[in-house]
Amino acid sequence: MRRIIKKLLAEPLAIAGVVIIIFILLVAIFAPFIATHDPQSTFPANRLQPPSRDNWMGTDNLGRDTFSRVVFGTRIALLVSLLAISFATLLGLTFGIISGFAGGKIDSAFLIFFDIIKSFPALLLAITIIAITGPSLPMLIIIIGITRFPAYSRLVRAQTLRVKGHDYILAAKALGVSVPRIMIKHLLPNVLGPVFIQAAMDIPIVITFEAGLSFLGLGVPPPTPSWGSILRTGYSFLRIAPYMVIFGGAVLMLTTLGFTLMGETLRDFLDPKLRKVV
């Protein structure tokens, strides 16, 4: 961890990414104190107002304060992305280690299972399931996690195949150590590095994926503020009130940029192949 922190502090782009991420996290944590209005309160008489002293980013078609909705939208973006990535990581670690360690027919069956899940276009799968079940935050997290976990499973499987032939694994088997203990104590610590890189790189993808579903009306159900729903409303009134698209798109771009910069630096540092090239 000290080496990672030292590396991040030595890279200007990584510092910029960390600063952006810390800023977004602070906004999400202190959203009730930063927001100037209730993000769900409607004021029809104040609809589609331009940015002003009272409404820093203007108002939407229902008179809701855009700034407050953008601020509270950070919570949704981070909550969905972190929980979905955690769910995908958990599934990927479990299935990947079992597949790589077991080998043979079990490994082949898992590979077919991964390929089946991965063969479905993520957006179409999400639209189909949400159209049947209805939009909800838990369902959104589950769908994103399911569509993302095959990449983690294949990564963990490859790392497991590389590690399981090492002498200390063979020695543990010879001593009669149980398979679950070998997986948790010996294999798991050796596969976490690449998984951590993958998770850092996937966070901005998941944030934009959630925003895209909310833009289509299939993400977080209203009136919960979401960056995608802000963009959807702004798109409907783009000619007379473009500020919703401008501010909603800017914060989305800023957040994805921060996580991308940090993820790229972590990948360059933790990926041994890239370190050799450098």
- The 10s digit of each residue's pLDDT in 29-55 is 999 999 888 888 888 888 888 888 888
Per-residue pLDDT, 4: 64
Angle between helices 137-163 and 104-119 (to 10 degrees): 140
Please state the rounded mean pLDDT for residues 15-27. Answer: 89
* Among 36, 37, 63, 35, residue whose Cα is nearest residue 49: 63
Q: Which domains does the chain have, with CATH numbers?
A: 2-277 (1.10.3720.10)
Residue whose pair of structure tokens reads 């944590």 in the numeric block: 29
Decide: 82 and 91 in contact? Cβ < 8 Å.
no
- The 10s digit of each residue's pLDDT in 159-183 is 888 887 777 777 777 777 777 777 7
Per-residue pLDDT, 274: 44
For 61-110, the three-class secondary structure string (H helix, E strand, C coil) is: CCCCEHHHHHHHHHHHHHHHHHHHHHHHHHHHHHHHHHHHHHCHHHHHHH
Per-residue pLDDT, 131: 81
Q: What is the residue type of 254?
A: L
Decide: 197 and 271 in contact? Cβ < 8 Å.
yes
Higher pLDDT, 204 or 177: 204
The yes-or-no verdict on residue 104 having pLDDT over 90 is no
- The 10s digit of each residue's pLDDT in 256-277 is 888 888 877 777 666 555 444 3
Residue 252 CA to residue 275 CA, distance in Å, equals 31
How many residues comprise the chain?
A: 278
